[in-house]
Every structure is written in C-alpha cells, then in structure tokens.
Amino acid sequence: MLATVHNLVTALLVAGAAVYVGAFVALVFGKRPFGMALMALGWLLTLGLFVANWRCAGGPPFGSMYHVMVLMALCFPPLYLFLAVRNQLWQLDRYFVLLPAIALAGALCMTRDLTWRRMPALQSPWFVPHVTAYMLSYALVSVAFAITVAGFFQRRRMTAATAAWYDEACYQTTRLAFPLMTFGLLSGALWAEEAWGIYWSWDPKETWALITWLLYVIYLHCQQAPALRRYARSAQVCAFVALLVTFLLVNLLPKLGSILHSYA
C-alpha cells in the first residue's frame, strides 16, 4: 500500500512540474488562455499531492523539506490571482508558473517520509499559521527576485517606463510578503516560548530568519527613500541570499544545522 502511495506521489510531482513548465512555455509564446489553463491544472495536481501528503501524515504535512516545498508550490497561483487583481500585475503570470515547477522539482529530490508524524514540539496551534505564513512570504519574495533577475538581463533594451514597471512589480510583491514574514517571525517566537520556555535562543534557523527579515526591512526602506533607491536592488539580492541560507542551507548542511529546528 505504501509503495503504491509513494508511486502516486512521485507521479503527481512529475506531472505537476511538467504542467507548470508547459504553462511557462505557453505564456512565453503568447498562448495566454492555454497557459492559464495549464496553471490551473498544475495547481489542481499540486492540491492533489498536498491532500495525499495530509492523509499519509494524518495531519498538516508541514514538517519536512519535502512537505514545505509542496506547500510552497501550492501557494503561487492563488498569490498570482491576488496580486493581479489588486495591483493589476497580470504580466507576472510566467513567474508564478515557473517557480512552482522549480519547487516541485526540488520536492522530487527531497526524502519523502510519507508516514511522518508531528513530534511533541510541533503539537501547537502555532504550527500551521507559522509555516503557512512563511511559505506564502517565501513564494512572494522568490517571485520578486525572479523579476529582478529578468529585469537585469533585459536592462539594455528596456525603456524607462518598463524599468519602472519591473521595480514597482518587485516592490509590490515584496510589500505583500513582508507582513507574512513578520508574522512568521513573531509567531515562531511565541511558539518557542510555549514549547521551550524561551522566546529566542539564537539558534541558526532563528538567527538567519532575523537576518533575512532585517535585510528586507532595508530593501523596503531603500524603496521608500529617494536618496537610497539606487541601493534597493542590492539590498533585495542580499535579502534573498539570506533567505536561501535560512530555508535551504540551515536545513540541508550539517555544519549549519539547527538543533532546535532539526525536525524541519
């Protein structure tokens, strides 16, 4: 039975990633209706994968790198619709289909412990909102970074208006992410106090999460201060590098390992 579920999960991972890549190709070549249909299909496949993980885990499947990569992939299309409707950023569609494909490909490379169960420290009402807030924010700032990279490679043929659009799209995406990231940081401190009796322990995971948050504060401040705006892109790149350390390196490299967050 478990082998069958494992095969189903693998098939959903591969199919979801492939459909998102197909959506990206369709959008790049101007086939928007087809690309959006593939985005919806990719999201449904990811939702099916998330439900399968939930059933196997017997609860919210947020406790491993594999789980949170799937959760992140699930976040992109709803966030795109929200930003597109609220800020008229419809042109961001290709970023919101390419990145979930990368997330699912990453999940495919992770160890898949389908029978994972929550350890006592995770038996908290903060568990779901904390992880969800962080994955939503990480999805958004990943898109913001992708926008910056795309703008960098197209800078020689961009008009001033196009360059301003790239900067504004990056700013609006990060501005939406920042309150979610802040909630993740604060809820983590409250959860730590509940689980371990201390709000902050300077554990590597906590330390890098704080560094990431502070660098995004600097980026947002640079965007708001005309005299500092020229430093905004550099601040954003540094912030995203810190995020990669927080999210990936602290979890995957033993030398940077987090004792209190070893379950993540």
Residue 43, both tokens: 């999201």
Q: Are residues 97 and 184 part of one domain?
A: no
- Rounded Cα distance, 83 and 88, in Å: 7
Q: Are residues 112 and 224 part of one domain?
A: no
Residue identified by tokens 């490299």 is 253
Phi-psi bin for 158: left (phi > 0), alpha (psi -120 to 50), beta? Answer: beta
The 10s digit of each residue's pLDDT in 2-57 is 677 788 889 999 999 999 999 999 999 999 999 999 999 999 999 999 999 998 88
Q: What is the CA radius of gyration of the chain?
A: 19
Number of domains in the chain: 2
Domain that includes residue 148, residue range: 134-264
Q: Are residues 139 and 258 part of one domain?
A: yes
The 10s digit of each residue's pLDDT in 172-192 is 999 999 999 999 999 999 988
Residue identified by tokens 């992140």 is 72
Chain centroid to Cα 106, Å, comes to: 12
Residue identified by tokens 């602290």 is 250
- According to DSSP, residue 156 is labeled G
Tell me whether residue 69 is exposed, middle or buried, using C-beta atoms within 10 angstroms of its C-beta: 0 to 12, 13 to 18, 19 or more: buried
